[in-house]
Structure 1
Amino acid sequence: MCTKNLFLFTKILTIIILTTLTTRAQFVIKGRVTDAKNGDPLPFATVGIKGKNIGAQTNFEGIFTIRAKELGDSLYVSTVGYKTRTKAIDKKSANQTIDFQLAGEAKSLDEVIVYSGENPAFKILRKLRENSEKNDRKHLSAYEYDSYSKMELDVDNISEKFKKKKVMKQIQGAIDKFEKMAGEDGKAVIPTFISETVSKFYYRESPSRKKEMVLKNNVKGVGVKEGGFVSQLVGGNLFANYNFYNNYVAFLGKDVISPIGENWKGTYKWYLSDTTDIDGHICYGMEFDPKNDKDLVFIGKAYIDTTTYALVQIDATVGKEANINFIDKIKISQELTQTSEGAWLPAKTRFLIDIAEISKNSAGMLLKMYISNKDFVINQPKPLAFYDIPVEVAEDSKETDPKFWEQARHEPFSAQDVLASKLIDTVRNVPIVRTYVEIAEIIASGYKRFDGLEIGPYLYSIAFNRIEGMRLRMGFRTNAAFSKRWVFKGFAGIGTRDLKMKYGAEANYILSRRHWTVAGIKHTYDLERIGLTPELISDNKIFYAFTRWGLYSGAFYRRENEAFIKTEPTKGITLTASLIQRNFDPLFAFKYRTNPEMNQLSPSRDYYDDTFLTLEARFAKNETYIMDGNERITLDTKRVPVVTLTYQRGLKGFLNGDFDYHKFTAKVYQTFRLGTLGRSSYLLQAGYTPSSLPAPLLYPHLGNQTLFFNRAAFNTMHYFEFVSDKFVSVQYNHNFEGLLFNRIPAIRQLKWRLLATANILYGSQKQGNQQLMDDAMPIFNPRHPSNMLESRFNFSSLDPNIPFVEVGYGIDNIFKIFRIQAFHRLTYLDHLSPSGKLPDKFTIKGSVHFSF
């Protein structure tokens, strides 16, 4: 027995010695591969020793480790969309770190030609689509998970000339440290914002609901204020929860064709490159490249499990060649994990937007987001009421203790992250930086913010017109720093010609944030125009501002009192009730018969008082909101129709009301994708009143006599040219995006987008309403400040058998910000406008708008 034990001991000792010798003889090379321009880690990159069949692949953080018994002269790195780099290896060092910074390369994959049979990648992709029924997360009834997210906003592309600017000189020391951290081939960036968030994310499939509960966050940045909507955006899961099984991946209002969607073959070229082990899953490595790089498409690499044919990892990039504005690159990297039910959920997501510099000597911007999810719970949906508030921030969510974040992070902070946090403190305390931030804030919001109070909006501060002369106006509103319940607004203005004071005051009280219940009262006295009042123009603030300039025909003074309450009893349904009293004091020739049944013997009046009750219901399925202080900002409605139904009841005798009437109005708006043909939107409206009313109280159709395009207006119609008591209209707009221009060699570089428009209106006016206005005629109006004869308003009715029709076409994205559209009026070509002129059969409208 002793001999056997001795033999066994000797054998074990020999194995230990051999293992030790082997380990000592092994070389270990570690490193990290990043984008040279922005420092973003590059997952799935191939790293190998040149001349040896030894290598590795970078993980999701761009980190690699190679263990080898022997070394070559150099180490190389290659990945899709980047130039291959090589660095020398120190053969004498057993452990060494070699980092790579790769420069981008605008080179696509060569098309794969298979002479015997089809491309082998096609079979794999067909299998992926066939198995999507069990792999796609949409087939789970519900899921939830714990999430950690980090968001960073940087300034990049810092030129030498930009470094000489005054603002840069004040932070040069901190920038020098960051340049060293970027690496020998990397470019420095200046962090301006960084946040960390711990949250819980919940999703329910039917009906579709989602919610993110922000538990803790730490937000640090230039110009960041407490109590804003930033703390709701930093969670990230509501906005970066990308699903590549969908046909389109949506962000920035754009729909990028998914490489593994149903159109994978028609849009992309595919290449089966390798197989690799990813966390125990043997995967096909599949490289993809667009057939037309000007389309909204990705380039990158996907890893598909060889057994389940599920997407395991993907690295997808939209380059600057695509028809998208102000963007050099959009990159999404995603790592998925399999749940107990078979479907796969995102475990890690990295999202980057590289915003292009405006000029050669200016800087660009980088937005980076990293999201890590764990502790998944499957198929346990919460009650519907739980999802009422899509983003909920805990009252004690602010957490700045470094020890807490050391434990909360799913991955430790890198040295670059630590330095970025310190640099932000330096940058945000520079006076000129604070000035730049304030200017940008005024441009974006229209208000200058103070503690608890905001002054503006500056868009309405000045105007020139024939009635008022130079109009000066100033307003204010309170914010959440003043009160989280009470909101006060007001304005005062005066014209240098009419010398009449205009003013307004409003007080709102927020009864509930969960069901967004607000009650309020307001009083205003101002100069308005028939057919161009705020309630008709809706939220087009720029168009409303421009209508206050020029001749200002159809002007009237209006005093208005309103009390209202608005609530959202359940998600997607908003109910509003309001009681409004208005008077109408025109500055143009206007009369109506108070007793039209008496014909010519009827008394007439040139003004009226109107008191009415309004009940409104708005249906917007899956609409998502976030809170900006005391205001709600809508994010999207999942491209389903938004329906608004309104009923108005005139109250004669109540608060001096002159009319007893009923009005019914319906409105439907939707934007939707037409596959590769582009994106469409329509506005469908209908209205009906059985009552006899003066023309301004009917349905005046919105015309447009400005040079600027208005999507909600009839752009070849004059102001108040047609009035109806029942009507139906549709306004259809289609943007072909780059469908046609992307395929014309001489034009495709301009990134123009073709537009098409068709507006149709059916309407009529019953005989009783026409008789009511028969006495309207040009008369001298002593209250008119110019003592001039005003042109007559015909208050014309449309022929119920002949629609008003206009069609348009144009080019969008000229120099990235301009839109030019031509419109042809096809009917009512001989109809006189309210000013007695023939209409414009053809007109050109322009607009300036920023879109990606």
Structure 2
Amino acid sequence: MKKYWSVVIFLCYGVHFYGQTKVSGKVKDELGEPLPFVNVYFKGSNVGTTTNDEGEFYLQSNHSFSELIIDLLGFENKLVKLSGKNVPINVVLKEESATLEEVVIVTKPKKRLKKKDNPAYRILKEVWKRKKKNGLLQVENYQYDRYTSKELGFGNMDSLFVKKVLKNKYKEQEDNLTKNYDNDTYYLPIELIEKVEKVYGNNILHKKRVDIEGERKVGIHQLGKYVNRAVTVFNNINVYNEDIQILDKTFVSPIAEKGFGSYDYVLSDSTVTDDKKEYTIHFFPRQKGDLVFEGYFKIADKSFALTAIDMKILKEVNLNFVRDLAIRKTFLLKNDSIYLPKTNEYKGEFTFLTKDNKEKSIYLTKKEKFTKYVFDIARPASFYENGLVQTSGNQFKKDDAYWNVKQGASEKKVFNLVKKVKKSSKIKRITGVIYTISDGYFTPISGLQLGNIFTTTARNDVEGLRLRLGFRTFKTINDRFKLQGYGAYGIKDKKFKYGLEARYLVSTKPRVTVGAAYMNDVEQMGFTRFNERNLIPQPDKGPKAVFVRGQNFFLSRVKKTMFRFDVEVAKNLNVGVKLGHERIVSAAPERFSLDFFNRKKNRIESVTKDVYSDVYVSYQPGRELKGFGVDRIIGPKLHPKLLVNYKKAYRGVFGGNVDYSKLSVLYNHPIQVGKFGVFDPTLIMSKTFGRVLLSVITAAPSNQTYFLTPNTFALLDYYDYVTDRSIEGHFEQHFNGLIMNRIPLIKKFGLRSLLTFRAVYGSISERNKEINRSTIQYVAPNRKPYFEYGFGFENIGYGNLRPLRVDFIWRSDFKNVNGPVSPSFGVRVGFKTSF
């Protein structure tokens, strides 16, 4: 009996060993040139790969196969018998002359062809002529169903790790795992999000409506803001556009009219299938570090519409955290003339340190399937303006029978696997660490978070070393109620400060939110002029940073009570009112006075009691939002922003001793300028009416730290430029690596250059000077502005982690009057984790 079992065990191991199939090789044409993008797969399976630029391939399976198929459009298919030995295979493909018509096959030129000499140019010209009329644009009305799945997980996980996660469920789930045969590791999904939508459109009215029919999430959802941004990487990618927005970067589309400035095109072949002729064009980056793709697309003859496109980025692309990014789209023929979206498949892999293939990664796979096209149903304009609004987490919940019909085989496998993975304590610990690194908060108990760990210390001349710790409630991104606060302590002044804020979503249609807050803290008055989302300031920055230049005793001790009521009257259009009561005194009266002359009482006072209402309008067209709770996640898409505030103070109400009004306007509009990057201009205007005290007047936003802060002046001291009417301009041009990628030796560092210019022009009335009794002199030149200009480099760091930005800044000739002379030149550092 023992001998019998020994034989059985030996045979089992033998079957497992011999059941594996490994094969590698190289594919060439009859002239000996390597053939890229050749399909290589085991016969009778869906296990396959494609050859690289050198025509090389490697393929592996746990199952036994005896035949290999080599397939490339325009060439004869080849069936290769496998010997069972892992010996490299050299394959020569012959051109299939029967499928070639009127087109000369070209290989990738060693020297760049002139545009008019390139056979692909003739075809692309026809594509450009018709691209604004292709697809759904050919019909007046349309509707279709869209099924979307998003799979998020960890890549390059070894078998030992996977076994520790799945434990006794490993054997049960082994068939559901996706293996990376390049390095014998696994993709381990931790979340699956599925959504079914009905999409309606009218090209005459230029209207579109998208209704969610069903939605399901399973797995671990909390990974932090940077992962949330990565999940939106594949939103609304239209390859027919001249530029393709991915994350916060602009890629040149391979079928753009300006494409010949960024790509080399090779017309590889033309084929005839079912009497329909297609052209295949491969495209390659001219500069590997630019924001472009590599791949191929297929174009239908006569209609010159896309029938398929397959593209990916190269590792040399100046893009942080992204190791791999691939896009595949297919189109179906409708009514013999209209090519419509059929499937989209996107794959992205994100790493923290390097782009090495062996490094652990976070991966995202998104798949879309389009079905049930209808073109002959007309609807009124009102139909498109009254789409479904999500008001609860279970609103679109469907049973398992519903999803079994919608899911494909791969989604079913992922769903079953994620249900097991989400229970793993090991995975929960890893995702918790990722969240803390990303957002700065950790979760000691469910529903409560502490942080921000990156803003626990600061320094100023009043408090000395400042220690701070905050908290916030959090269950899901769709929480209708949020409570947050902080406590801080100054080692020098030995005083405790704190703030507390509560916000609640009253209604979802329309969106109505209310909030209340109380704060007792030290503050740099006038530093925060537009506070869009929260009543109390966000974690310490600006005057309460760790490293500062010069001296700053110009801080105020503020006790404030605030209430806010906000209504979203239309998409991305908010109107609200904020009511506040603030008691303001100098935080260092022996060094900095906020005294003023009270005309009614005919005496000098030092305490400002500001009782006010603040009516505001916020309009941000094109802003993408995720979630439906009191806080929503803002997507990475660049969009304009218009903020208008009208503040009115009331003397005699609840002890108020100031009476003034102030109108403030901010307009910001980042503009994508193709491969030249992003131009980011901001204009701010402010006008104060009535007599106003120094404690509540507008001062040019100075910055005495060594760190960059948006919309501030780095070489101007606090209160050196005090105005009651002013206009500011802040302008930045980010080149996204365009210039640095073209400089030999330097381009390997992945730097991105930028230019900056900032200016302020304003004045102050004599009557506001007259009531001042502080130690501050009012200076606001009427005849010339103050300005700063400079250049800088961003994307400084190591590998994929490049958060540093360094600016070199000069200032105009300006005389300091309230402190040490500011330097005429400075170097400032910024921190921003970007893609």
TM-score class, shorter: 0.7 to 0.9
Shift of 1:180: 9.0
- State the distance in 2 between where 1:455 and 1:504 align: 14
Superposed, 1:141-156 pairs within 5 Å as: 143-156=142-155
SS in 1 for 2:240: coil
Identical counterparts, % of pairs: 21
Aligned residue type for 2:671: F
Superposed, 1:567-578 pairs within 5 Å as: 567-578=567-578
Among candidates 332, 336, 341, match of residue 331 of structure 2:
336
Aligned to 1:383: 382
Shift of 1:749: 1.6
Aligned to 1:796: 779
Is 1:286 aligned with 2:269? no
Change (3 A) 1:572 1:397: closer
- State the distance in 2 between where 1:708 and 1:380 align: 54
Superposed, 1:118-157 pairs within 5 Å as: 118-135=117-134, 137=136, 143-157=142-156
Aligned residue type for 1:530: M
Aligned residue type for 2:666: K
Give the unaligned 5+ runs of structure 2.
Answer: 1-21, 60-64, 69-77, 90-106
SS in 1 for 2:260: helix
- State the distance in 1 between where 2:811 and 2:690 align: 31
1:789-818 alpha-carbon deviations (Å, 9 max, x no partner): xxxx32422x12111111010111122322
SS in 1 for 2:184: coil
Contact 1:642/1:669 (8 A) holds in 2:
yes
Aligned to 1:617: 617
Superposed, 1:752-831 pairs within 5 Å as: 752-773=751-772, 775-777=773-775, 793-797=776-780, 799-815=781-797, 816-828=802-814, 831=815
Aligned residue type for 1:525: N
Is 1:846 aligned with 2:829? yes
Aligned residue type for 2:565: I
- State the distance in 2 between where 1:702 and 1:334 align: 49
1:153-180 alpha-carbon deviations (Å, 9 max, x no partner): 34334579xx689978979956994799
Shift of 1:117: 7.0
- State the distance in 2 between where 1:36 and 1:584 align: 76
TM-score by length of 1: 0.78
Aligned to 2:404: 406
Aligned residue type for 1:292: Q
Aligned to 2:434: 440
Among candidates 241, 246, 255, match of residue 251 of structure 1:
246
SS in 2 for 1:769: helix
Shift of 1:188: 2.4
- State the distance in 2 between where 1:548 and 1:116 align: 54
- State the distance in 1 between where 2:496 and 2:221 align: 36
- State the distance in 1 between where 2:365 and 2:478 align: 33
For the aligned residues, what is the CA RMSD? 4.5
Shift of 1:715: 1.3
Change (3 A) 1:847 1:453: same
- State the distance in 2 between where 1:339 and 1:124 align: 22
Contact 2:501/2:516 (8 A) holds in 1:
yes
1:276-317 alpha-carbon deviations (Å, 9 max, x no partner): 357874211111112111111111111111010111111111
Change (3 A) 1:386 1:229: farther
Among candidates 292, 295, 300, match of residue 300 of structure 1:
295
Aligned to 1:348: 343
Among candidates 803, 807, 832, match of residue 816 of structure 2:
832
Aligned residue type for 2:719: F
Shift of 1:404: 3.7
Stretch of structure 1 that moved more, 717-726 or 469-478: 469-478
Give the unaligned 5+ runs of structure 1.
Answer: 1-34, 38-45, 68-74, 778-792
Aligned to 2:641: 642
1:423-478 alpha-carbon deviations (Å, 9 max, x no partner): 54554444343222222223333333443433344444444444335544444333
Aligned to 1:785: none
Stretch of structure 1 that moved more, 584-593 or 388-397: 388-397
Change (3 A) 1:465 1:217: same
Shift of 1:702: 1.2
Contact 1:48/1:77 (8 A) holds in 2:
no
Stretch of structure 1 that moved more, 168-177 or 571-580: 168-177
Contact 1:479/1:630 (8 A) holds in 2:
no
Contact 2:683/2:730 (8 A) holds in 1:
yes
Contact 1:446/1:457 (8 A) holds in 2:
yes
Contact 1:135/1:344 (8 A) holds in 2:
yes
Aligned residue type for 1:817: P
Change (3 A) 1:485 1:749: closer
Aligned residue type for 2:541: Y
SS in 1 for 2:366: strand
Aligned to 1:590: 593
SS in 2 for 1:124: helix
Stretch of structure 1 that moved more, 185-194 or 739-748: 185-194
Aligned residue type for 1:319: L
- State the distance in 2 between where 1:270 and 1:560 align: 63
- State the distance in 2 between where 1:614 and 1:699 align: 15
Shift of 1:207: 8.0
Shift of 1:271: 1.3
Contact 1:196/1:234 (8 A) holds in 2:
no
Aligned to 1:745: 744
Shift of 1:208: 6.8
Aligned to 1:665: 664
- State the distance in 2 between where 1:827 and 1:297 align: 43
- State the distance in 2 between where 1:265 and 1:667 align: 39
Contact 1:36/1:185 (8 A) holds in 2:
no
Aligned residue type for 1:767: E
SS in 1 for 2:541: helix
Aligned residue type for 2:793: I
Aligned residue type for 2:829: G
Change (3 A) 1:235 1:633: closer
Shift of 1:537: 11
Shift of 1:519: 1.6
Change (3 A) 1:292 1:36: farther
Among candidates 189, 193, 202, match of residue 192 of structure 1:
189
Change (3 A) 1:742 1:561: same
Change (3 A) 1:390 1:512: closer
- State the distance in 2 between where 1:574 and 1:748 align: 44
Superposed, 1:56-75 pairs within 5 Å as: none
1:205-224 alpha-carbon deviations (Å, 9 max, x no partner): 68877665443344333455
- State the distance in 2 between where 1:140 and 1:765 align: 60
- State the distance in 2 between where 1:213 and 1:307 align: 35
TM-score by length of 2: 0.79
Shift of 1:65: 7.8
Contact 2:389/2:509 (8 A) holds in 1:
no
Change (3 A) 1:532 1:241: closer
Aligned to 1:363: 360
Change (3 A) 1:543 1:740: farther
1:167-211 alpha-carbon deviations (Å, 9 max, x no partner): 789799569947996386563223132425232153656887766
Aligned residue type for 1:440: I
Change (3 A) 1:471 1:760: closer
Change (3 A) 1:396 1:249: same
Shift of 1:620: 1.4
Aligned residue type for 1:827: D
1:716-737 alpha-carbon deviations (Å, 9 max, x no partner): 1112221111111110000112
Aligned to 1:182: 179
1:214-245 alpha-carbon deviations (Å, 9 max, x no partner): 433443334559xx999999998x94332111
Change (3 A) 1:117 1:165: closer
Aligned to 2:695: 696
Aligned to 1:711: 710
SS in 1 for 2:669: strand
Aligned residue type for 1:367: L
- State the distance in 2 between where 1:767 and 1:477 align: 46
Shift of 1:246: 0.6
Change (3 A) 1:313 1:492: same
Change (3 A) 1:169 1:145: closer
Aligned to 2:103: none
